[in-house]
Structure 1
Amino acid sequence: MTTFADSLKKEIARVARKELREEIAALRKTSVTQRSEIAALKKQVKAVEAQVNKFGKAKGRTQAVRTAPASDLSDTPIQTKGKPGRKVVFTAERLKVQRARLGFTQEQMAKLLEVSSLSIWKWESGGSAPRASRVPQIMQRLALGKREAESLVAA
């Protein structure tokens, strides 16, 4: 009797697998098309984000140029985006991040900021900090775009 029960269980499992195979194939096909659609949508989102960032940076540069000429920046503290009364603080980490963003060596960054490369090294390592009178000029130069910074270094 045991062999009959085992045979019956095996036959039922085989028939169930056979019926499910067609349904699973349809689900797999749907899943593949959905995954490819998701990948295409991710690419589109990435492209749109890149355009938004590009336009946002261009807009930010034009507003900064219009609202605060270079001669006025030396006298006033630099403020964060639209938050009055908050000064931007110079940090070694910010300098490292900006140098990496620009793709500059320490020598190129030194030329951009009009200091020695040893000063850049000391500032990045946290061994020292720039003079308070130089911080606004340094922060202004760090806020430049890559092309503007490269043109200043080349000049």
Structure 2
Amino acid sequence: MPNIAAVLKDEIARIARKEVRAQTEDFKKSSAQYRAHIAALRRRIDDLERQLKRAGKVAARDNPAPAEEDDASTPRRFSATRLASQRQKLGLSAADFATLLGVSGQSVYKWEHGESRPRSKQLEAIAELRGIGKREAAARLAKLQDS
């Protein structure tokens, strides 16, 4: 006949396993659901990335960007000290420089002193004046003043 202590010990172990199994069963179920949900989300991300890549290739193939548009869309940097030095290099007053740009003399003054910043259209006009010399600047200014 088995020892009563051994039988009692086995019964306690069996009941403990049953209780632990009941308590951990909910966690196992929810963990399996979370893993399935994560896997579905990963598959969806992969599909969306493939679609995005495909759409980018189609867009690049259908609309090749001309070089002229790249120059216009290039963001321009602005420096107040460079603007002042450019104006002085051309030998122009703030008012004359403003006339060439199509803005007021006060705007040029504020740009040079860092009180404001030119808009993108004005930055393009400043960039166009970068490549001209004193004679061409004077000719353009005379032409604008005569008009």
Shorter-chain TM band: 0.3 to 0.5
Give TM-score scaled by structure 1 length: 0.44
Structure having the higher helix fraction is 2
Which structure has the highest strand share of the two?
A: 1
Structure number with larger C-alpha Rg: 2
TM-score (norm 2): 0.46
